Amino acid sequence: MIANLRAKFTSNTWTLWLVFLGLLLAIGLASGILIFWKGLGITNLTDLVPWGLWITIDLSSIALSAGAFSLCAAVYLIGLKRYEPVARTATFIGLIGYTMAMLSLMLDIGRPDRFWHAVVYWNTHSLLWEVTMCVCLYLTVLVLEAMPIIANFEWLKNRFPKLTAKMEHVHHYAPYLAIAGLCLSMLHQSSLGAVYGVLKARPFWYKPEMAVLFMFSAIVGGISLTIFASMLSARVTPRAKINDSLLERLAHFVGWALVPYLYFRAWDWLAMTYTYQPGRTEGLEVMTKGPLSFNFWVAEILLGAIVPMILLLKQSTRQNRFWRMAALAMVVGGVIAYRWDINLSGFLVVVSYLPGQPTVTYTSYFPSLVEIGAGLGVIAFGLTAFSLGVRYLKVVDHRYTSEAHETVKGEVPKTVLA
């Protein structure tokens, strides 16, 4: 009787959740159509702030997908085999994240009909060219890595057993894919920071550590999201099964990784304090004292790094599932806040080109409704894909161990469920 009621309740919440996501997707779709039809003129983007909310979503979803390459490298290259089921979750999240990034870029570019130019026409000097190449290749790697996961779909298995067997077989190449994924991700995760870091017209960005900070925050945020999403799924549905001790160890790693991240962030900020270069000091002030100061001090530094670092390094809070999840969510929020703040603090400060010492003026940006609507749509797409994955593809099943793959011998693949 009770079990019956519970089943009813969970199926009802599932429907409600889908309806909610469907609503957001509809808003997103409507906004997207409006944007393609009317053009970017209906956004609040300007010539002074040409990149806004969508670029933040793009950068954040790529950064938060970094769990895929980090954990795959840990499992298949470093040999931490026990994390393999978690790497599986991370890979699926990565595939979703990169798709979200592509979607938000399609909204953002002025000529979405020419998106393919990015692959066909090359300017090898452009950081964005390099990022495009890496992202396209890495998306291919992710699709291959996710093949064995998608092969879990019952309907597909029953309908095309040969195809799913082939898809599962891709897992044999996991170590090679992990190498490719590691190289490509190291390149573009840091290059996305360098995209900003090479612009000498924007003194606040123009520094070598942009690449390093983007890379670091991506690894920390990506692993955090993987653990958080797994734990949340296990809380809301019996279909998700986690191995809590594995996730606790990973969370411990995140706690330690936050230490050097905070160290680099602190020096990044301290080193800029006394340069007094026009534009740079002002950019820093926009972040530390100006309109972005709450984001910076609270979302990025306090809640994004210091508090989760303490919560995840302290054994009692780390073992407490609530505090662990809270800490990981804070890290994720901190990475998103970092992308938003970095993008804006460079644009809000306008350095004049007039003769003499460059003077500084300020501009402002707040996303328009249609930007927020389309952004919500992209996020809802990610949540829908993950929810479906948990329900139908056993994406979060940390008892799951795949067949051995390091010996490439072409045995008949078999799935072992512990």
Partner 1 sequence: MSDIQFSRRDFLKLTAFGAAAVAGTRLVKEAQASSSSPSGEHQWAMVIDQSKCTGCNYCTLACKAHNDVAPENNWNVVTQTGEVGGHQVFIARPCMHCEHAPCVEVCMVGASYYRDDGIVMMDYDKCIGCRYCEAACPYQARVFNWEKFEGKNPTVPEWGAPEVERRPRGVPEKCSFCYHRIDRGLSLGLTPGVDRDATPACVNACPTKARLFGDLNDAESEVSKILKNHVSYRLRDDLATGTRVYYLPADPKEMDVEVES
Structure tokens at 196: 């900003």
- Identify the residue among 1, 2, 19, 125 touching partner 1 (CB under 8 A): 125
Tally of CB atoms within 10 A around 377:
21
Residue selected from 77, 201, 369, 404 as contacting partner 1 according to rule CB under 8 A:
201
3-state secondary structure of 362: strand
Q: Is 400 helix (H, G, I), strand (E, B) or coil?
A: strand
User: How far is Cα 170 from Cα 372, in angstroms, rounded to an integer?
Assistant: 39
Q: Which of residues 48-77 bind partner 1 (CB under 8 A)?
A: 48, 50-51
Would you count residue 110 as binding partner 1 (CB under 8 A)?
A: yes
Near partner 1 by CB under 8 A, which window of 37-45, 61-69, 302-310, 366-374?
A: 37-45
Does 37 contact partner 1 by CB under 8 A?
A: no
Q: Which of residues 281-310 bind partner 1 (CB under 8 A)?
A: none
Per CB under 8 A, 195 contacts partner 1: yes
* Rounded least distance, CB 307 to partner 1, Å: 33
Q: Say whether residue 315 binds partner 1 (CB under 8 A).
A: no
Give the phi and the psi of residue 351 in degrees, each rounded to 5: -90, 130
Q: Residues near 219 by Cβ (< 8 Å), separated by ≥ 6? A: 66, 70, 189, 257
How many helices and strands, by DSSP H and E, does the chain display? 17, 4
Nearest approach, Cβ of residue 402 and partner 1 (Å): 20
By CB under 8 A, tell whether 39 contacts partner 1: yes
Q: Which of 9, 122, 263, 366 binds partner 1 (CB under 8 A)?
A: 122
Minimum distance from residue 283 beta carbon to partner 1 (Å): 13
| Length of the chain measured in residues | 418
Q: Is the dihedral of CA 189, 192, 197, 203 positive or negative?
A: negative
111 contacts partner 1 (rule: CB under 8 A): yes
Per-residue mark of binding to partner 1, 340-379 (x: CB under 8 A): ------xx--xx-xxx--x---------------------
Report if residue 174 touches partner 1, rule: CB under 8 A: no
* Angle at the Cα of 417 from the Cα atoms of 249 and 391, rounded to 5 degrees: 80
387 and 237 Cβ atoms separated by less than 8 Å = no
123 binds partner 1 (CB under 8 A): yes
Interface with partner 1 (CB under 8 A), residue from 410, 412, 414, 416: 410
Smallest separation, CB 206 to partner 1 (Å): 10
Q: Which of 117, 159, 235, 399 binds partner 1 (CB under 8 A)?
A: 117
Distances (CA, A) of 192 to 95, 132, 209, 219, 277: 18, 10, 12, 14, 24
176 near partner 1, judged by CB under 8 A = yes
Alpha carbons 331 and 321: distance in angstroms, whole number: 15
Q: How far is CA 39 from CA 31, 33, 44, in A?
A: 11, 10, 12
Name the residues that contact partner 1, by CB under 8 A: 39-41, 43, 45, 47-48, 50-51, 108-111, 114-115, 117-118, 121-129, 132, 176, 195, 198-202, 346-347, 350-351, 353-355, 358, 408-410
